Amino acid sequence: MSSQRNIVSSSHLVSERCAELSEFEFGLIVANNAFNRWMIRCMAAAGETDMTAMEVSLLHHVNHRGRSKKLADICFVLNIEDTHVVSYALKKLVKMGYVGSEKVGKEALFATTPAGVELCQRYRDVREQCLINALIDNGGQQADIGDNAQLLRMLAGLYDQASRDAASM
């Protein structure tokens, strides 16, 4: 298969056995950058202009289901290897007043504060207005999005296993 027919960012990586993976990787890079930009802009529209995409993700995950969470569990669920990055971001969210931390035994548990819950709700409102409305106006395709989410989770496992293989070489 010719790499000229594929939309890729690194033609030298295109495999004749699976050119589609290179197309997927380029799409993933572009989508990841767009999603990170979206989270930052959505949060700014919700009223907080000093957050990174990582901090936005962490705030929403800590707020998820209204339960306190351990650092290790946050990293595990979000598939983040570098706990130092997460720890730093959580400290910033604590300092900003959106997340609280409580020591239980040797572990710190993190939970959203009332200000954090309120900010997450404002983010949700902006998301509904800007993103969900645009999706619905463009024909929805919620089933396709669900299928793609499942595919992304499966590919995350594939990339994780390939990472372990590469690390053992």
Domains of the chain listed by start with CATH number: 18-164 (1.10.10.10)
SS3 110: strand
**Tokens 């035994």 label which residue?**
105
Per the prediction, the chain carries an average pLDDT of: 94
Q: Which of 3-17, 82-96, 125-139, 143-157 is predicted with the least confidence, judged by mean pLDDT?
A: 3-17
CA atoms within 13 A on the CB side of 85: 12
pLDDT in tens, 4-16: 577 888 888 888 8
Type of residue at 149: A
Q: How far apart are CA 114 and CA 4, in angstroms?
A: 53
Which residue carries 């993700």 as its tokens? 57
Contact 53/46 with Cβ under 8 angstroms? no
Interval 47-73: pLDDT, tens: 999 999 999 999 999 999 999 999 999
